[in-house]
Structure 1
Amino acid sequence: MAKPDDRSNNAERIQNTIANTVKKVQDTADYLNEHASEISGEEINQLKHKNENRKQAISSLKQEYQDEANQ
């Protein structure tokens, strides 16, 4: 038998995911600021692209959080 779907902590989980992703964006930016001269241009571009994807994910997660918080 399948487990019942428990969504009671969805808003909290989304909030934690947002916080973790924001930290990753900041950590990556800090890394680039400190080590840009030591890494290849390709790696810099990959890290910047990854951060852009994270920022888009944060935007989506914030909308999802609001939807969950309003339920």
Structure 2
Amino acid sequence: MKLTDNHSHKPKPDDRSDNVEKLQNMVQDTIQNIEKSHETMRFTDGEEKQAIETKNKRREEAIDAMRNEIKDEYNALD
């Protein structure tokens, strides 16, 4: 026996009210990851150190992007 769902599924409304807070938390987490990686780099060299530096560069770029998105989200709340 096959059951059918006669209820229409409506998408949840777009709730952006906490996006700024979530993005700020993501920035803080990323900054903490960079700080932890600096500690790790003290004990590494060569390719591993280069890989960490490359990853930190991407993290810094991500932070810039998140900060821009925070500004956009904040302005969208007005």
Distance 1:58 1:52 in 2: 10
How far residue 20 of structure 1 moved from its aligned partner, in angstroms, is 0.3
Give the structure 1 partner of residue 18 of structure 2: 9
Match of 1:36 among 44, 48, 51: 44
Instruction: Please state which structure has a larger fraction of its residues in helix.
Output: 1
Q: TM-score, normalised by structure 1?
A: 0.85
Q: Name the CA distance, whole Å, in 1 between partners of 2:61 and 2:68.
A: 11
**CA deviation after TM superposition for structure 1 residue 43, in Å:** 1.2
Structure 2 residues not aligned, in runs of 5+: 1-8
Aligned length: 67
1:26 and 2:35 matched: yes
Identity of aligned residues (%): 34
For structure 1, the 5+ residue unaligned runs are none
1:15-65 Cα deviation digits (max 9, x unpaired): 0000000000111011112x125xxx1111111100000000001111110
RMSD of aligned C-alpha atoms? 1.2
| TM-score (structure 2 length as normaliser) | 0.78
Identify the residue that residue 62 of structure 1 maps to in structure 2.
67
